[in-house]
Amino acid sequence: MPDKAISLREFFAGIGAYRKAHRVIVRHRLWAYVIFPGIMSLCYIMLLIAVGRIYFGDVSDHINRHWLPPLMKGDATEIITSILLWVLLFILTYITYKYVILIIFSPILTQLSEVTEKVICNEPAPDFSFKYFVRDIFRGLIINLRNVFRVLSMSFLAWLMAFIPVAGPPVSITLIFLIQSFYDGFGLTDYTLERKRYSVRESIGFVRRNRSRITGVGSGFMLLLLVPVAGWFTAPTYGTVAATIAALEKINENDPRLANL
């Protein structure tokens, strides 16, 4: 049945897929897929932190000297400027990180999704085809560009609601979280849909019909990213395995192999 509105049952099924993902990872010893993306994730985040440590002092000093009126200049203002720069870096890291891992880590996470289905369902991955390989590159590019544009535009509109007195800020935050969660879940689930040879239109149709479950998967991913170090390290692997399980449960409904996870 199409998922016309947010279904709490399906939403929590998406989040609950992370518990199943943990059991699959432990049972089948998929730790290599945790370690390598995890190290790459930490390297990306540490690189951005290093950039901040190297340049933010000079940037803050430059702003304090040249951009502010004389009455606002001083050590306190420079400290506040540095704090605001670090807050901005945190926000940008949080936003860009998701797209970096979904695009740059794609070969590893695609293989992880294949391995997950194989150990759960004992089904081989489809044979390699150069035709499908080229098609999948363009397909992934189309979906990611579409999702980035929609996330930014919809999040901006939701952010504007924060200016509505009293009810605006909590509504705005909730909407932004749900928007980000849905499209994060879409990106993670698409590794499975791509392997099943879904077209762009078919993938969009699938996630729309199952938007509550997809949003739940994305919510679990975003919550992991809020956990320093450990969350950054494990989010790519756990998100991919959880999304694979959540998608397979809908594609292969009533499959006893999935019921026993």
Amino acid in the structure at residue 214: I
Domain that holds residue 208: 8-38+106-259
Task: Work out the average pLDDT over 90-97.
Answer: 72
Say what percent of the chain tops pLDDT 90.
Answer: 32
The closest of 81, 15, 6, 86 to 246, measured between CA atoms, is 15
pTM of structure: 0.81
Residue 164 counted as domain residue: yes
The dihedrals phi and psi of 111, each to the nearest 5 degrees, come to: -65, -40
Could you report the per-residue pLDDT of 197-217, keeping only the tens digit for each? 888 899 999 999 999 999 999
Residue 12 counted as domain residue: yes
Residue 87 counted as domain residue: no
Residue 17 counted as domain residue: yes
Residue 231 counted as domain residue: yes
Q: How far apart are alpha carbons 91 and 107 in whole angstroms?
A: 26
Residues counted in the chain: 261
Residue 26 has pLDDT above 90, yes or no: yes
Q: How far apart are alpha carbons 118 and 3 in whole angstroms?
A: 28
pLDDT at 72 (0 to 100): 67
Residue 148 counted as domain residue: yes
Could you report the per-residue pLDDT of 119-167, keeping only the tens digit for each? 998 766 555 555 666 666 677 778 878 888 888 888 888 888 877 887 8
Mean pLDDT of the chain: 83
Task: Name the domain count of the chain.
Answer: 1
Position 13 confidence tier, pLDDT thresholds 50, 70, 90: very high
Residue 61 counted as domain residue: no
Residue 219 counted as domain residue: yes
